[in-house]
Structure 1
């Protein structure tokens, strides 16, 4: 009778190692979705620790620590949502890889926030509420806290549903809701709010119209010409020079206006000088790059790749310089009110608060930005370097012109509206040629209406989702902020 031997648990070394490998793979697969939230949570905790270090000169430390944590949370949401408007078109046009876009945007956003970010920020979001209507400093602090929390939650929700929203409008809605909950309807400047509401229409329509106009110009003057390369040698330097002049003016007014006060006339002269210099440099560059190119549109597109990357970089720099205040404005107000025991319409931003805003935007872009970048760059309509260049040029030029005439606009709405603009222009252009071709075909070979509708070049589902998110942003954040203010004041 054979001797009984108990069966070992591990049969062979190879199978044992295979099991362990499978466990490691399963663990990595499960933990991967938790990596980004884990890093984000670590940054939020670090922001709270930075606030705690500054508490040796601030009373009411726990409030400041909580505000710093929510400020970091808001900054990361801005990075995840807002930056897609600048880098999305470049990625969709394959001018940049996702990794390259995130790296460039992270550096440019941080540099813009730290170098040209405002030393002074309006804590009541463009005079939305009257500080005199707020009862005392404690009420003001809780109102700013409610505005910060509601704004961060709404931008997070918008990012989750892939809807690029205006973070400026989000903060405005949060401050308005908290102000109403704290001091009633009379505390709100309704004239300013009506101007902001009008920007829901003005911004995307202007952005789309200007982008479509630039695309029509390029089609007629370059793409539809018999000698496309010769036409490109004439027009590309002019368009790049126009871009340089617009961006120089834009940065002089918006980006570095916090460092050196520049009047509009001086900013315009700076833009003209920059445009002339870039034209002088670009003419030989285009001529040299276009040597030996085939006479087709694909060759012309290559001439717009480098200008598009530069435009996206400058847009990110300007965005970091301006929109960092949306993340840290309420936080700066809370720090000032807690430290001084009073509140003011404008306060100086401490350096540690600026660091939280700058690096928070970069972290949010790195961890959660690809979701919106893909949506803006690839899922609304198909982009190439020419179309994406028109989007960037439209964004900068429309902001400058609107600011010049005092029109209330949102850079987010302009950029996304420009993407829709080039898409709808392409639809119109293709439909016009299709109708001509349809008339020349026999009746039995013409495309059916359902097939024509299916060939639309702009996804209507994304269009309706984004428009709805824009319209709902201010009232939704206002309601959330008012409820959060009531909760905070009830338990404190």
Structure 2
């Protein structure tokens, strides 16, 4: 029970960090275009993150039981995954880089599971057909393919949408365009916040649900007093209290803000006008919502970052500060392997101390 409480606290710490680390995903453009002040934007994002987080559990189920075999999961495995994700999240936040909390958690989980399984790579679910949903599931279709596809779709989709807007709006004056899209960007920023919550908050829900299921299977909750019986989770499921707790924690983290990353995405990478912010946010939100619907734990960071690059490139290719972009891409590339190593190392250390 004590280890579960440690896991629960670590999961909520990760969720809080995810909130302020990824707050920039939802609000960087609306801040950079000066449609809202940073404080107003953060409150808007926190509000819609909260509601988005309560909309479904498909992503949570992918994280909890769709990537790693159950026999490789213990409380220590889950804690190792969270340690890896927290360390990487704080490190990249300190550097001001918009890295993927999703991939950090997945990398940490895979690394920790390999430690628990003594290096048996067979515990990782690479690709499994799910007859109930008539689709392939596992690391390859749900993590690896979207990791490469989503940035490309974000960049191209945002660029096409921006070019379409240019064609439609070419006869209007810049003042009218800024006035109209200053209002519309409130809608797109709200949708982006909602989409972020609907995907990112579910990842921690899945981890906590996994810990509950693992604890129940191991007998950790057998001798608890009656008022704690709600912890019993004989089949993998995401309880309502987990959904609400994660939603509130992410909203609180979002309210804390992530100013370093906001500056990178909203100011350093490319200069934006309201119409660009609207195009980037709308494109990203649409992609993220589609991913949430089919249970893909997408990197919202990848999608909104490349959407911003896409709209910036339509102004002129040199409008995007590719030096900043290269730093961001390196953070993306390193996330899975580095967090995998951290998760493996953390689990090995805990196993060395006799923790199971």
Larger radius of gyration: 1
- Residues 80 and 372, structure 1, Cα contact 8 Å, conserved in 2: no
Contact 2:29 2:272 in 1 (8 A): yes
* CA-CA distance at 1:362 after TM superposition: 2.5
Farther-moved stretch of structure 1 (416-425 vs 315-324): 315-324
CA RMSD of aligned residues (A): 2.6
Give the deviation of 1:124 after TM superposition: 4.6
Shift of 1:322: 2.7
Equivalent position of 1:49 in the other structure:
none
- Report the number of matched residues: 328
- Give the C-alpha shift of residue 397 in structure 1: 3.1
Distance verdict in 2 for CA 1:304–1:427, change over 3 Å: same
Within 1, Cα distance between the matches of 2:167 and 2:102?
37
Report the alpha carbon displacement of residue 130 of structure 1 after superposing the two structures with TM.
Answer: 1.4
Displacement after TM superposition at 1:462 (Å): 1.6
Counterparts of 1:357 and 1:401, CA distance in 2: 21
2:114 matched to which residue of 1?
A: 180
Change (3 A) 1:98 1:407: closer
- 5+ long unaligned stretches in structure 2: 128-137, 220-232
Aligned residue among 340, 347, 351 for 2:237: 347
- Residues in 2 aligned to 1:385 and 1:123: alpha-carbon distance in whole angstroms: 35
User: 1:172 deviation in Å?
Assistant: 1.3
Matches within 5 A, 1:183-202: 183=117, 184-191=120-127, 192-195=138-141, 196-202=143-149
Shift of 1:471: 1.0
- Partner residue, 1:90: 30
- Which of 261, 281, 285 in structure 2 is aligned with 1:396? 285
Structure with the larger RCO, 1 or 2 (CA within 8 Å, 6+ apart): 2
Residue ranges of structure 1 left out of the alignment (5+ in a row) = 1-59, 229-295, 429-455
- Paired residue secondary structure (1:158): helix
Go from structure 1 to structure 2 and tell me whether the alpha carbon gap of 1:202 and 1:87 turns closer, same or farther (over 3 Å shift). Answer: same
1:306 matched residue in structure 2: 183
Q: Tell whether the 8 Å contact from 2:280 to 2:308 is kept in structure 1 after alignment.
A: yes
Q: Quick one: which of 67, 82, 99 aligns to 1:148?
A: 82
Match of 1:116 among 42, 51, 55: 55
The correspondence of residues 163-174 of structure 1 with structure 2, limited to 5 A, is: 163-174=97-108
Out of 177, 188, 195, the residue aligned to residue 318 of structure 1 is 195
Q: Confirm or deny: 8 A CA contact 1:120 1:347 kept in the other structure.
A: no
Shift of 1:218: 1.6
CA contact (8 A) 2:59 2:202 kept: no
